[in-house]
Amino acid sequence: MLPLLGRVLVALIFLVSAFGKLSAPAGTIGYIGSVGIPMPTLAYALALVTELVGGAILALGYRTRLVAAALAAFSVVSAVFFHHALGDQNQMFHFLKNLAMAGGLLQFVAHGAGAYGANRRNTWSCPLITGL
């Protein structure tokens, strides 16, 4: 049960961030452009899809190792591009938060979804109902 809770809690930050991006697309696109990333609208769309789809799939436990690896990479890239002003205590906090998220995600890369998650055949794996 703990891996399920862990997946849901880690996925929550991605899902909340995606909904924040959906609620203020212009501001998010402007921020992405302000750090010098080319094609900020495309970068916005990619980040939104990564957070929304990746967060949902992680919570469900489907292809957990692959999804967790992608989200870990996304977290590190986001830290480097958006939270690199390490002299600012707030930015340092967000930089370290992203690295910590990547570390937690790497645990799912190493150990998988746990007992309560969708497996590769897109069926649910639950030890309480095995054999049904």
Q: What is the pLDDT along the chain (132 residues), one digit of tens a residue?
A: 888 999 999 999 999 999 999 999 999 999 999 999 999 999 999 999 999 999 999 999 999 999 999 999 999 999 999 998 889 999 999 999 999 999 999 999 999 888 888 765 544 444 444 443
Q: What is the pTM of this model?
A: 0.86
Question: Other C-beta atoms within 10 Å of 81: how many?
Answer: 13
Q: What is the dihedral of CA 19, 21, 23, 28, to 10 degrees?
A: 170
- Residue 130 sits at φ, ψ, to 5 deg, of -60, 135
What's the CA gap between 16 and 5, in Å, rounded?
16
What's the CA gap between 58 and 17, in Å, rounded?
15
